[in-house]
């Protein structure tokens, strides 16, 4: 297999170093260019960079979290993926620094909480208000994992990607109440499941030019911990000709050149298509382009490339289409000043062949895509369904994260 991905990526790093203008941002100085693109042919391999070691399990975990429609980091942390922890920890840290009194007031400390107390004339102690004791980031993660109430209060990131992908424009309403009227269970209702709608469109109207999933919900941006960086993606498909379908079938079966000819001797196009239809060989190729406003090229973009490559493969499996091209359309492409050393190291490295990703669809591949509960299938996808093989890469480069 060829690897044209790493060289494209390294060329863009060099482009930013050479042509980038200096910018002062909310979280540090950068060099920045605008705009740029990368296109990868999925037939060349899974788009995981080889010029540095990538945390591929975290990529699959975060993507499944987004597809589940989740916006709380508890599930991520329970699955050892902590890439969003900093965004949740900062508000907690700020709250504690504002409200923690360091023993200057009467307090009862229990299980990580601080409860300010008030002593009545009869000697009884009443609880006046509840505060949280300081926690390290590691302690914060541990508490998020085991304490549902704590996770509900401090683990939610607002209406970010998962909510917009699976429940656009929904409203939060009470579905159960206690006798005294206090809410017990809330549910988002009335929203649009953009992922299910995209899959239905692929099945029923595959040439549609409106098959777009959007995360940029203007009236909810201020409620999000972080406005979406990769804010939309678009799907496009085309019909495969009989020769392309034959080659795809031969490749997955591992046929030699002679065996390829033996499968379809002097058959007409119609005969070939009919035979391949019976074998459920895909009739179409599917491509994906995503749009990203803010692009941390050393740290975030390699993660995003592999994530959208995985998403393209998932869509292909669900609607029986062959993943073809993956394109990233990037707005502000930047390198932070504290990442320059790692970048200069990475652009000198030679690339290896790209790895292969196999997806086990035994328990979630629909038999009839015309009558499918997409939500049930999506929630049935497991992290262990993604099997990466032949991943040869250079050592990790520890780029700092600028939250």
Give 24: exposed, middle or buried? Use CB within 10 Å, 0-12, 13-18, 19+: exposed
Q: Would 39 be classed as within a structural domain? A: yes
What residues contact 56, with CB distance under 8 A and at least 6 apart?
A: 48, 306, 388, 391
Q: Would 260 be classed as within a structural domain? A: no
CB 192 within 8 A of CB 375: no
Q: Would 47 be classed as within a structural domain? A: yes
Domain that holds residue 228: 5-71+160-240+282-389
Half-sphere exposure of 238 (CA within 13 A, CB side): 8
Q: What is the pLDDT along the chain (403 residues), one digit of tens a residue?
A: 689 999 999 999 999 999 999 998 888 899 999 999 999 999 999 999 999 999 999 999 999 999 999 999 999 999 999 999 999 999 999 888 876 655 444 454 555 555 555 556 665 555 555 567 788 999 999 999 999 989 999 999 999 999 999 999 887 654 555 545 555 555 556 689 999 999 999 999 999 999 999 999 999 999 999 999 999 999 999 999 999 999 999 998 988 877 877 887 777 888 889 999 999 999 999 999 999 999 999 999 999 999 999 999 999 999 999 999 999 999 999 999 999 999 999 999 999 999 999 999 876 655 655 567 888 889 889 999 999 999 999 999 999 877 6
CB 233 within 8 A of CB 183: no
Q: Would 325 be classed as within a structural domain? A: yes
What CATH number does residue 292 fall under?
3.30.572.10
Q: Would 83 be classed as within a structural domain? A: no
Q: Would 37 be classed as within a structural domain? A: yes
Of 212, 216, 171, 173, whose CA–CA distance to 191 is shortest? Answer: 171
Question: For residues 10 and 331, what is the distance between their CA atoms, to the nearest angstrom?
Answer: 17
> From edge to edge, which strands make up the β-sheet containing 125-132?
107-110, 113-119, 125-132
Domains contained in the chain, number: 1
What residues contact 100, with CB distance under 8 A and at least 6 apart?
A: 114, 131, 132, 133, 134
Transcribe 43-61 into DSSP letters.
GG-----SSS---HHHHHH
Q: Would 89 be classed as within a structural domain? A: no
Half-sphere exposure of 5 (CA within 13 A, CB side): 29
Q: Would 130 be classed as within a structural domain? A: no
């Amino acid at each position: 297999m060829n690897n044209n991905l790493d060289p494209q990526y390294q060329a863009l790093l060099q482009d930013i170093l050479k042509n980038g203008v200096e910018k002062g941002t909310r979280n540090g100085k950068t060099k920045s260019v605008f705009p740029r693109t990368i296109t990868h042919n999925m037939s060349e391999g899974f788009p995981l960079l080889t010029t540095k070691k990538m945390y591929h399990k975290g990529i699959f975990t975060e993507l499944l979290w987004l597809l589940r429609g989740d916006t709380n980091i508890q599930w991520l942390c329970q699955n050892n993926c902590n890439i969003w922890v900093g965004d949740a920890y900062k508000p907690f840290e700020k709250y504690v620094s504002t409200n923690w009194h360091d023993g200057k007031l009467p307090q009862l400390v229990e299980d990580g909480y601080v409860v300010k107390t008030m002593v009545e004339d009869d000697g009884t102690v009443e609880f006046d208000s509840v505060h949280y004791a300081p926690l390290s980031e590691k302690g914060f993660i541990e508490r998020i994992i085991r304490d549902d109430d704590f996770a509900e209060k401090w683990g939610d990131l607002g209406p970010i990607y998962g909510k917009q992908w699976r429940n656009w424009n929904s409203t939060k309403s009470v579905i159960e109440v206690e006798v005294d009227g206090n809410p017990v269970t809330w549910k988002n209702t009335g929203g649009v499941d953009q992922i299910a709608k995209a899959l239905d469109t692929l099945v029923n109207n595959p040439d549609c030019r409106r098959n777009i999933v959007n995360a940029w919900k203007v009236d909810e941006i201020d409620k999000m911990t972080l406005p979406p960086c990769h804010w939309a993606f678009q799907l496009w498909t085309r019909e495969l000709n009989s020769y392309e379908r034959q080659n795809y079938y031969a490749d997955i079966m591992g046929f030699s050149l002679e065996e390829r000819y033996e499968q379809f001797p002097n058959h007409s196009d119609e005969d070939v298509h009919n035979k391949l239809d019976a074998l459920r060989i895909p009739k179409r190729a599917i491509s994906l382009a995503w749009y990203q406003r803010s692009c941390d090229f050393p740290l975030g973009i390699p993660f995003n490339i592999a994530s959208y490559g995985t998403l393209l493969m998932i869509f292909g499996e669900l609607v029986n289409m062959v993943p073809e091209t993956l394109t990233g359309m990037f707005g502000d492409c930047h390198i932070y000043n504290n990442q320059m050393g790692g970048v200069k190291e990475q652009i000198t490295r030679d690339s290896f062949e790209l790895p292969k990703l196999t997806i086990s669809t035994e328990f979630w591949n629909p038999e009839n895509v015309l009558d499918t509960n997409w939500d049930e299938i999506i929630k049935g996808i497991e992290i262990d369904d993604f099997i990466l093989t032949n991943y040869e890469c250079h050592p990790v480069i520890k780029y700092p994260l600028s939250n």
